[in-house]
């Protein structure tokens, strides 16, 4: 059951003896944690197994992370960074050199969100659903905020372009985020009647389009009201 570190290996046959101090353990641990979570999920995630995979003693991680949750928070942080990148990533370049409309980039970011979620469902679980005392890990909140601000930026661009109603971009961003997050979470939980990723993405595109019709600038949002809400 013992595994050797894969990231600090010596040439075979050279009478290898790992030095007492690893020298680069923290990122290695983070990497191992990401891998382990992707494999078994945060519920079965174990600090000692991470240590095993890094080839170190079960207590070495405590020199770099105060506790198990801090390592999980680091994983979540890394997830938000990857998510922000995915949201803001430029289109796969097409032949046409006409710039992609902002609305289109906004909608595509929704699909990117879902693609990210489907490719790293356990990661999403740590990022959004794990009971981490987020106030204890400010980097986590900051990374989450950065990811959200990418989304807000896309909304604002679409507003400037005139394809979304003006005013505070926050509610619009929140609505879009909610829809896309819901699709992603339900798809991950296998609660949607779709099998393949492409089916899910097609469904998501339809949902996004439907929502956009409802948010279209011809019908300003603020003017609509239903009866009172208890």
Partner DNA sequence: CCTCAAGTGTTGACACTGTCTACATCCACA
Partner DNA sequence: TGTGGATGTAGACAGTGTCAACACTTGAGG
Using CB under 8 A as the binding rule, whether residue 129 contacts its own copies is answered as: yes
Give the dihedral sign, CA 166/171/174/179.
negative
- Is the Cβ of residue 57 or residue 219 nearer to its own copies in the bound state? 219
What sign does the CA torsion over 25, 27, 28, 29 have? positive
Half-sphere exposure of 37 (CA within 13 A, CB side): 28
**Other C-beta atoms lying within 10 Å of the C-beta of residue 45:** 20
Does residue 93 belong to the site contacting its own copies (CB under 8 A)? Answer: no
Shorter beta-carbon distance to its own copies: residue 166 or 206:
206
CA distances in angstroms from 225 to 15, 172, 206, listed in the order given:
76, 16, 25
Q: Measured between alpha carbons, how far is 153 from 25 in angstroms, rounded to an integer? A: 36
Considering the complex, state which of residue 24 and residue 219 has its C-beta at the smaller distance from its own copies. 219
Write the CB contacts of 38 (distance below 8 Å, at least 6 apart in sequence): 120, 122, 123
Residue 48 makes contact with DNA by CB under 7 A: yes
Paired tokens of 207 = 């949902």
User: Which of its own copies, DNA, none lies near 38, with the C-beta cut-off 5 to 8 A by kind?
Assistant: none
Min dist. Cβ of residue 68 to its own copies (A): 11
Report the residue number, 60 or 152, with the smaller CB distance to its own copies.
Answer: 152
Binding-site partner at residue 14 among its own copies, DNA, none, CB < 5 to 8 Å by type: none
Q: Specify burial of residue 164 (Cβ count, 10 A radius: 0-12, 13-18, 19+).
A: buried
Instruction: State how far Cα 105 lies from the chain centre.
Output: 18
103 binds its own copies (CB under 8 A): yes
Please identify, among the stretches 5-13, 18-26, 30-38, 175-183, the one whose residues bind its own copies according to the rule CB under 8 A.
175-183
Which residues are near DNA by CB under 7 A? 1, 19-23, 25, 45-49, 56-60, 62-64, 67-69
Give residues in contact with its own copies (CB under 8 A): 41, 43-44, 92, 103-104, 107, 111, 125, 128-131, 134, 144, 148, 163, 170-171, 174-175, 177-183, 185-186, 189-193, 198, 201-203, 205-207, 209-216, 219, 221, 224-226, 229-230
């Amino acid at each position: 059951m013992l595994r050797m570190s894969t990231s600090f290996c010596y040439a075979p046959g050279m009478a290898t003896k790992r030095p007492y101090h690893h020298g680069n353990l923290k990122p290695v641990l983070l990497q191992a944690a990401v891998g382990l979570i992707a494999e078994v999920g945060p519920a079965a995630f174990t600090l000692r197994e991470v240590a095993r995979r890094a080839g170190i003693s079960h207590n070495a991680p405590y020199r770099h992370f105060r506790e198990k949750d801090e390592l999980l928070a680091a994983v979540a942080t890394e997830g938000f960074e990857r998510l922000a990148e995915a949201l803001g990533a430029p289109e796969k370049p097409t032949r046409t050199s006409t710039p992609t409309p902002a609305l289109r980039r906004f909608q595509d970011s929704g699909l990117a969100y879902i693609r990210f979620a489907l490719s790293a469902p356990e990661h999403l679980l740590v990022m959004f659903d794990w009971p981490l005392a987020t106030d204890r890990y400010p980097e986590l909140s900051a990374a989450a905020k950065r990811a959200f601000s990418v989304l807000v930026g896309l909304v604002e661009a679409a507003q400037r372009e005139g394809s979304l109603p003006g005013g505070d971009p926050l509610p619009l961003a929140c609505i879009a985020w909610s829809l896309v997050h819901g699709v992603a979470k339900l798809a991950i939980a296998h609660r949607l009647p779709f099998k393949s990723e492409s089916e899910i993405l097609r469904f998501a595109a339809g949902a996004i389009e439907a929502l956009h019709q409802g948010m279209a600038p011809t019908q300003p949002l603020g003017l609509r009201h239903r009866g009172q809400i208890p």
